[in-house]
Amino acid sequence: MTPLPAPRPLSRLIGSPEGRLGIIAVTVFVVMAALSPDRFLSAANMTSMAFQFPEFAILALAMTVTMLTGGIDLSVVGIANLSAIVAAMIMTRLTGDGTGLVLLALAASLGVGLLAGLLNGVLIAALGLPPILATLGSGLIFTGLAVALTGGSAVMGLPPAMAWIGNSTTLGIPTPLILFALLALGISLMLTRTAFGVTLRMYGANPLAARFAAIDVGGMLVRVYVLSGALAAVAGMLVMSRANSAKADYGSSYLLLAVLIAVLGGVNPYGGYGRIIGVVLAVLSMQFLSSGLNMLGVSNFARELIWGSLLIFVMIVNTRRPRA
Partner 1 sequence: MSDAIQPPAPPEALITLDGVTKTYAGITALDAVGFSIRAGEAVCLAGENGSGKSTLIKILAGVERPNRGRVLIDGRPAEGLTPRAAGQAGIKVIFQDFSLFPNLSVAENIAFSAELGAGTRLVRRARAGDLARATLARIGVAIPLDARVETLPVAHKQLVAIARALATEARLIIMDEPTTALTEREVRVLLGIIRRLKADGVAVLFVSHKLAEVLEVCEHVVVLRNGAKVAEGPARDFDAASLTRHMTGRAVGGQAPAPLAEGAPELMRVEGLGKAGAFADVSFSLRAGEVLGVSGLLGSGRTALAKALFGLVRPDAGRIAVADRAVPPGDPLAAARAGIGYVPEDRLTEGLFLTQSIAQNVAVGRLDAHAGAGGVLDLRGLLAEARDWLGRLSVKAPDPDAAVRSLSGGNQQRVVLARWMARSPRVLILNGPSVGVDVGSKAEIHGIIADLAAQGLGVIVISDDLPELLGTCHRILVMKAGRVTEAIAAGGVTEADLAHRLAS
Partner 2 sequence: MTIDWTRNETLVALVILAFGALAALSDPGFLSIATLTDLLRGGIVLGIFATGVLVVLISGGIDVSFTAVAAFTMYATAMVLNAVAPWMPWWAALMLGAALGAALGAINGVLIAGLGLPTLIVTLGTLSVFRGFMLTFVGQRQITTLPPGMREFGRMMLVRGENPDGSIWSLHAGILVTAGVIALTWFILHRTLLGRQVFAIGGSEESARRIGIPVRRVQFLVYVYVGALAGLAGMIHASMARVANPFDLVGLELSVIAAVVLGGARLAGGYGTLTGTVLGVALIVLVRNSLIVLGIPSTWQSVAIGLLILIGTGLPAWQARRAARRAA
Interface residue list for partner 1 (CB under 8 A): 193-196, 198-199, 201-202, 205-206, 208-216, 272-273, 323
| Of residues 157 and 219, the one with the C-beta less far from partner 1 | 219
**Which backbone phi and psi does 252 adopt, to 5 degrees?**
-65, -25
Residue closer to partner 1 by CB (options 43, 324) is 324
132 binds partner 2, rule: CB under 8 A:
yes
Residue from the set 5, 214, 297, 301 that interacts with partner 2 by CB under 8 A:
301
Closest approach of Cβ 19 to partner 1, in Å? 19
Contact of 135 with 74, CB cutoff 8 Å: yes
Closest residue by Cα to residue 124 from 248, 207, 201 = 207
Q: Which does 137 bind (CB under 5 to 8 A by kind): partner 2, partner 1, none?
A: partner 2
The span from the CA of 211 to the CA of 245, in Å, is: 45
129 binds, among partner 1, partner 2, none (CB under 5 to 8 A by kind): partner 2
Asked if 251 is part of the footprint of partner 2 (rule: CB under 8 A), the reply reads: no
Is residue 147 a contact point for partner 2 (CB under 8 A)?
yes
- Work out what residue 214 binds among partner 1, partner 2, none; the CB cut-off runs from 5 to 8 Å by kind: partner 1
How far apart, in Å, are the Cα atoms of 277 and each of 140, 184, 262, 283?
Answer: 31, 8, 11, 10
141 interacts with partner 2 by CB under 8 A: yes
Q: What residues pair up with 169 in beta bridges, in sequence order?
A: 174
Distance CA(126)–CA(118), nearest Å, equals 11
Q: Which does 164 bind (CB under 5 to 8 A by kind): partner 1, partner 2, none?
A: none
How far apart are the C-alpha atoms of 169 and 177, rounded to whole Å?
9
Residue 58 sits in the site that holds partner 2 (CB under 8 A): no
Give yes or no for residue 152 binding partner 2 (CB under 8 A): yes
Question: Which one, 49 or 210, has the nearer CB to partner 1?
Answer: 210
Residue 323 binds partner 2, judged by CB under 8 A = no
Amino acid at 145: L
Q: Give the whole-angstrom CA distance, residue 151 versus residue 149.
A: 6
Query: CA–CA separation, 77 vs 159, rounded Å?
Result: 23
Question: Of the candidates 92, 116, 96, which has an alpha carbon nearest to the alpha carbon of residue 231?
Answer: 116
Cβ pair 109, 236 in contact under 8 A: yes
Footprint on this chain of partner 2 (rule: CB under 8 A):
72, 123, 126-130, 132-134, 136-145, 147-148, 151-152, 256, 259-260, 263, 269-270, 299, 301-309, 311-312, 315-316, 319
